[in-house]
A and B are shown apart, each in its own frame.
Chain A
Amino acid sequence: MIPVTRSVLYLDGLSVSFDGFKALNNLSIDLAPGELRAVIGPNGAGKSTMMDVVTGKTRPDEGTALFLGSHDLTVLDETEIANLGIGRKFQKPSVIETLTVEENLELALAGNRSPWQAIMQILRPQDRRSMNEVASRVGLTDALDQLGGALSHGQKQWLEIGMLLLQEPKVLLVDEPAAGMTDSETLKTAELLKSLAGEHTVMVVEHDMEFVEALGCKVTVLHEGRVLAEGSLPHVSSNNEVIDVYLGR
């Protein structure tokens, strides 16, 4: 039986193991519509594996993963999940290096994804407008003609975020957006993500505590594949277990 939920993303009792190593161990998280959530945890806590399960890259051994209460994410594949409205920014920037910034944005642009459509498609003025809008929002207006591979690490991160925006997803999964950014860029990223919450549901995985503080949202702490603590940042940082495994070091 599918549990009734109004969560946008509902994960319950997820377990994944790789060769006996439990990457996820009875993990449960749920995200309300429009929520901004930060997920922190030491390396190997299961953050990326959780995103892999949500985006269809990894199948869980057991547990439930529901999108909008009705779509079972454990049976859909990456393409179907992406088209349902779950967008993902990877930890390692993975823009298409041999395409220009503009072409990368064009690929991400929401719309029909069939081969036939791709052959026939001509960019409409409103498409160009939204691409230019996003480009200026992520500060890449001057770099539209540059190849993805020629961008700096921080610029690639921005381009990925821009691509994510153009996909117009309902849920954004953002993996370590601040890695390789300067302090001011980090703050700018936090502002951007905060401004997206409300309209979109955003889940951010991050190591950088200053960044999490800047987000000022509910925090989930993962450890050894399960949720260790959940609540506001001051609340979780006063939790003894959390201090032991993560913050206290």
Chain B
Amino acid sequence: MIGLRLRQLVFASIIALIAYVFLANVMFPASMGMALDSYSLTIVGKYLCFAILAVALDLVWGYCGILSLGHAAFFSLGGYAMGMYLMRQIGERGTYGHPVLPDFMVFLNWEQLPWFWYGFDAFWFAGLMIFFAPGILAFVFGWFAFRSRVSGVYLSIITQALTYALMLAFFRNEMGFGGNNGLTDFKDLLGYPLTSDGVRVWLMLSSGLALLLSLFLCQKLLATKFGRVLVAVRDSESRTRFLGYRVEHFKLVAFVMSAMIAGLAGALYVPQVGIINPGEFSPLASIEVVVWVALGGRGSLYGAALGAIVVNAAKTFFTGFYPEAWLFFLGAMFVISTLYLPRGILGALEDLAQQVRGKAPKLSQEGLS
């Protein structure tokens, strides 16, 4: 019951945040002085995107036991798909003024647009690619990995290799994704200037709605028998096989869905920060996502979202005031959560609330055995 109430609290806070920004920045006149400035809007929007990514990872790690150390790859692919659309939106306003080719292609003396850039001038196409690019990669990767029964730490290692390989590939100019610099210098989104306050507000609101939607959909999915099979796979994979379930298919479905949600997060992230480059594929970025989820509460979607927001808020604070202390703090948080908060912040709050009520903490269904 208490666990449920905490989850409702997280959900309600996100709704409250969205409602506040909607009222203060969109409905009420600016003269009331309640509106968030564009710096805060962008920061909050970023956190919300990270929270979506954390929810995506928790779906596979928390519920199916697949510790992916390469989720930043799916996030970045979604981001690149959005970035390609934004590049095509620049049109003739680039430094070189070419009507079709983005600046970096003109600079590389390319004569025409590579085939994989076709279609990205249309928002609907880019919108599909946000899901399909990471989804197809996850499908192909998962198909081979799960069928060969690669699991546990071995799977984690090859997911690291996956994101590292993509990083190296995207660094190359010949790949056609802007190389080292990535994609940047965006101007418009759907015809509205990206730097305008109005667009920033809507991007932040969309990120919040996307987070609510991901939470809601994952929650609904996990409440079905599918969710219980995932938990069975997490806790006893071979037993699930002997019950007649094709474990690799269940893992594959969860992994692909998770990758698509991560892609959505990346696509919302890129217009808010204004750049996507191969650094986003770095193995460290994926490991950070694992830290968010572990700290917030693995095996609880709301905990994962909370963890992403708390860790990134701390990151903003530390990198602003004590930049040299940030990595030590991150390390300390991970050690502390591993030693003292095995079920993360949300799990610890649940136990605390239960103790206050004078009940012994019960083994939660959402917790880990």
Contacts and interface: CB of A to CB of B under 8 A. Distances in A.
Interface of A: 55, 57, 77-79, 82-83, 87-88, 90, 94, 96-100, 103, 106-108, 113-115, 118-121, 147, 149-150, 163, 167
B369 A97 contact: yes
Using C-beta atoms within 8 Å of the partner chain, give the interface range for chain B: 20 to 34
A115 B249 contact: yes
A115 B250 contact: yes
B226 A119 contact: yes
Given A118-B250, A147-B365, A96 B235 contact: yes
Which of the listed residues A94, A106, A118 has the most CB atoms from chain B within 10 Å of its own CB? A118
A94 B250 contact: no
Given A96-B231, A121-B225, A150 B242 contact: no
Which of the listed residues B224, B225, B229 has the most CB atoms from chain A within 10 Å of its own CB? B225
A119 B246 CA distance: 14
A88 B242 contact: yes
Interface in B242-257: 242-247, 249-250, 253
B236 interface: yes
Contacts of B225: 106-107, 118-119, 121
Interface in B211-269: 221, 224-226, 228-229, 231-232, 235-236, 238-247, 249-250, 253
Given A96-B232, A121-B224, A57 B245 contact: no
Please provide the 5 A-B residue pairs with the shortest distance between their CB atoms, ordered closest to farther: A82-B244, A118-B226, A78-B241, A118-B225, A119-B226
Contact of B224 (A83, A119, A149): A119
A106 B228 contact: yes
Nearest to B228: A103
A97 B247 CA distance: 18
Given A94-B239, A114-B249, 6 more contacts: A88-B242, A96-B239, A98-B367, A99-B231, A99-B232, A107-B228
Contacts of B236: 94, 96
A107 B240 CA distance: 9
B243 A107 contact: yes
Interface string B279-309: 0000000000000000000000000000000
B128 interface: no
B363 interface: yes
A3 to B, nearest CB: 27
B9 interface: no
A162 B144 CA distance: 35
B239 A82 contact: no
Contacts of A82: 241-244
A79 B244 contact: yes
11 contacts: A79-B244, A79-B245, A79-B247, A90-B242, A96-B236, A98-B231, A98-B235, A98-B363, A99-B235, A119-B221, A149-B369
B231 A79 contact: no
B368 interface: yes
A169 B87 CA distance: 59
A244 to B, nearest CB: 35
Contacts of B250: 115, 118
Which of the listed residues B243, B249, B253, B369 has the most CB atoms from chain A within 10 Å of its own CB? B243
Which of the listed residues A78, A147, A163 has the most CB atoms from chain B within 10 Å of its own CB? A78
Contacts of A103: 228
A107 B228 CA distance: 8
Given A119-B224, A121-B224, A55 B231 contact: no
Contacts of A98: 231, 235, 363, 365, 367-369
B363 A150 contact: yes
A90 B223 CA distance: 28
Contacts of B241: 77-79, 82
A165 to B, nearest CB: 13
Given A78-B241, A97-B369, A107 B363 contact: no
Contact of A167 (B231, B240, B244, B368): B244
B285 to A, nearest CB: 29
A113 B248 CA distance: 12
